[in-house]
A and B are shown apart, each in its own frame.
Chain A
Amino acid sequence: MTAFGLLVILTLALLANAYDRLDDIGAMQGRLTRMHALAGEQAAAEHGGIRASAPRAAEAAGEGLDASYAEQSAALTEAVRGLAVILLGSGAAILIAGLCAALALTRRLARPLRLARESIDRLARGDLAHRVEVADGGELGALVTGINGLADRLRAVVAGMIDSAANISSGSRQIVRGVEDLSRGAEEQVSGLERTVACLEEMDSAARRRADEAQGTGRLIGAALEETAAGGGLVGEMTAAMSDIEGAGGRVAEITGRMDEIASRANLLALQAVVEAARAGRPDGELAGFAAEAHALAQKSAAAAKEIRGRIECHLEKVELGRRSVERSGQALDRILASVGEAAGGVEGVSGASREQAAGIGRAHQAMARMDEMARQNAALVEQASAVTRMMEEEACRLLERIACFRMHRIDRPVAANGGKRRFSIARRFGRDAGRNGMIGASAA
């Protein structure tokens, strides 16, 4: 430092000397200039005379001038030469001083800068674990601290990226598995839907067959209904005929009743005749004989009327029985008619229900077809999702591989010597972690 100060002082002295020389040179130059101006004036004054008798005078003046100019010029040259020497000396001194200063600066600055450059190079090569020792608290120290901070932040960022990539990869694998499950589910859904559709088609055809059968049964029952109604009409006719027979029998019974009455009156009359004959004192006369005969006849006719009435009553009882049985037949036929009507209604209901069932099955079939279509779309979407997820996983692995060039922890071996192996080890370590977490780690390797 002191040498540097001496050097500066020496240089300043040399410069002051040179400045003085420069003053001298300036003065000489002023003199020269004045001399040159004087010579000019002389030349101008002598110009008129010169014109007439010019050459000699001119030559005389010229010779004087040249002599003075040469003298002055020599003095000037001397002064410049001295100045040059001074300048050369000072320049050499400055050069020596600069060299010394440069040597000192180099000793102080170059090592930290080299360390910083090496550190930056290693950062650029991905060694994030490397740190530079801070030498002093100056600007260089701040630079090195900044580089160290940069490395720290880079390491944090890369660590975060590794974590994120790992998470993305594992999540992608989970998604892949889920999507595979989903895909299987979608396929099962599609196959189940196909089976359901087949079952629905069978049910549809069965319902249609049932509806047709019910329609056929309904026709048969309708025919039975007509037959039964015809039978009911016949029974009604039979009932009417029975009632007619009964009425006729009733009239016959009435007639026999009147016959009976007449016979009893005749009997009374005959008895009266017998009584008259007895009272006449001739109980064995002709009158008594006729009366007795009339009495016998009346009794016979009464007995005959009684017998007829008995037979008619028996007949009427049988007719009544027949009428009742016909009535019961009619009632039974009515009940059959009602039952057949109900059966027809039931069959109609079955037919309608079957038709509605067939329509419902058709609608269900359509819905199933739509569901089938949607399930197929789902399956396709699941395939797409699977592909996208696989791509994502591959991208995550690629990202991991790219990040693997960063060395996160300090190791003793040189960085450049086994970079590929280290990269592999990082990927494998990551895969092992993933595998430990219950994931498939093969894809990472």
Chain B
Amino acid sequence: MQTGAALSDNMMGAGEFAADGTEAGTQYLTFICAGEEYGIDILRVQEIKGWEGATHVPHTPAYILGVMNLRGLIVPVIDLRTRFDLEQRPFNASTVVIVVRVRCSLAEKTVGLVVDAVSEVYTFPGEAILPPPEMGERIDGACINGLASAGDTMVMLLDIDSLIASSIEHI
């Protein structure tokens, strides 16, 4: 509850901060995946839905759960845990699909990301974002733009364009 209130105050504070000047920072929607908090640019988020299942498409990588019908638009659905080679866990009531718009191969695509839960909306100023550590090409370093602190937790800011591009270029 205290954490919730603190987060809420933080968000309200971010709102106030944003009200002071639009150039003060960028808003990020954060979500939880395997205990870690990730953030994506809020302008890329189109919709947040509860997990309702997907139609499996054969001969696709394991992290492609299938496709879903989003008001007439067929959207591929990616399981981020599988994509990040993390431990599998059965979906539950807090599992959500974050529908994002990405630019891929000079075209705009709509993709669904399955994560454990959405968390918050933070506003991070540019100087608060730290560059990702150099950990070798094996760790998909290109997919992380940087790191930011929110209270005592660390938020990994994802480069959603390159992530989706590397994920669905095989399809």
CB pair A307–B121 under 8 Å, yes or no, is: no
Beta-carbon nearest neighbor of A278 in chain B: B42
Q: A283-B18, A303-B4 are in contact. Are A272 and B48 (CB under 8 A)?
A: yes
Q: A271-B48, A274-B42 are in contact. Are A296 and B8 (CB under 8 A)?
A: yes
Set A283, A288, A299: member contacting B8, Cβ < 8 A: A299
A/B pair count, beta carbons within 8 Å: 72
- Report the bound CA distance from A296 to B14 in whole Å: 14
CB pair A283–B27 under 8 Å, yes or no, is: yes
Measured between beta carbons, the chain A residues less than 8 angstroms from B1 are 300, 303-304, 307
CB pair A299–B4 under 8 Å, yes or no, is: yes
- Report the bound CA distance from A391 to B8 in whole Å: 138
Beta-carbon nearest neighbor of B7 in chain A: A299
Q: Interface segment, A56-64, A145-153, A260-268?
A: A260-268
Is A295 part of the binding interface, using a Cβ–Cβ cutoff of 8 Å?
yes
Is B47 part of the binding interface, using a Cβ–Cβ cutoff of 8 Å?
yes
Is B96 part of the binding interface, using a Cβ–Cβ cutoff of 8 Å?
yes
Within 8 A of A (CB), among B153-167: none
Is A275 part of the binding interface, using a Cβ–Cβ cutoff of 8 Å?
yes
**Chain A 244-271 interface mask (CB, 8 Å, partner B; 1/0):** 0000000000000000110011011001
Question: Nearest chain B CB to A299's CB is how many angstroms away?
Answer: 5
Q: Give the total of B residues in contact with A, Cβ under 8 Å.
A: 28
Within 8 A of B (CB), among A273-328: 274-275, 278-279, 283-284, 288-289, 292, 295-296, 299-300, 302-304, 307
Measured between beta carbons, the chain B residues less than 8 angstroms from A292 are 8, 11-12, 15, 121
- Report the bound CA distance from A261 to B8 in whole Å: 20
- Report the bound CA distance from A289 to B48 in whole Å: 19
Within 8 A of A (CB), among B35-87: 42-43, 45-50
Is B107 part of the binding interface, using a Cβ–Cβ cutoff of 8 Å?
no
Question: Nearest chain A CB to B27's CB is how many angstroms away?
Answer: 5
Is B144 part of the binding interface, using a Cβ–Cβ cutoff of 8 Å?
no
Set A260, A268, A271, A302: member contacting B121, Cβ < 8 A: A271
- Report the bound CA distance from A278 to B28 in whole Å: 10
A265, A284, A295: residue with the most chain B Cβ atoms closer than 10 Å? A284
- Report the bound CA distance from A295 to B118 in whole Å: 12
Measured between beta carbons, the chain A residues less than 8 angstroms from B139 are none
- Report the bound CA distance from A264 to B48 in whole Å: 12
Measured between beta carbons, the chain B residues less than 8 angstroms from A302 are 4
CB pair B118–A268 under 8 Å, yes or no, is: yes
- Report the bound CA distance from A267 to B93 in whole Å: 13
**Chain B 99-137 interface mask (CB, 8 Å, partner A; 1/0):** 000000000000000000010010100000000000000
CB pair A284–B48 under 8 Å, yes or no, is: no
Question: Nearest chain B CB to A300's CB is how many angstroms away?
Answer: 6
- Report the bound CA distance from A292 to B13 in whole Å: 11
Is B149 part of the binding interface, using a Cβ–Cβ cutoff of 8 Å?
no
Is B171 part of the binding interface, using a Cβ–Cβ cutoff of 8 Å?
no
Set A264, A271, A279, A307: member contacting B94, Cβ < 8 A: A264
Set A268, A295, A307: member contacting B11, Cβ < 8 A: A295
Set B4, B19, B29, B123: member contacting A300, Cβ < 8 A: B4
Question: Nearest chain B CB to A294's CB is how many angstroms away?
Answer: 11
CB pair A268–B96 under 8 Å, yes or no, is: yes
- Report the bound CA distance from A346 to B147 in whole Å: 82
Other contacts beyond A268-B48, A278-B42: 15, CB < 8 A = A260-B93, A271-B29, A272-B47, A275-B45, A275-B46, A278-B43, A284-B22, A292-B8, A292-B121, A296-B4, A296-B11, A300-B5, A303-B1, A304-B1, A307-B1
Residues of B within 8 A of A (CB): 1, 4-5, 7-8, 11-12, 15-16, 18-19, 22, 27, 29, 42-43, 45-50, 93-94, 96, 118, 121, 123
Instruction: List 22 A–B pairs whose Cβ atoms lie within 8 Å, in order of A's numbering.
Output: A265-B50, A267-B118, A268-B48, A268-B49, A268-B118, A271-B48, A271-B118, A271-B121, A274-B29, A275-B47, A275-B48, A283-B27, A284-B15, A288-B15, A292-B11, A295-B121, A296-B12, A299-B7, A300-B4, A302-B4, A303-B1, A304-B1
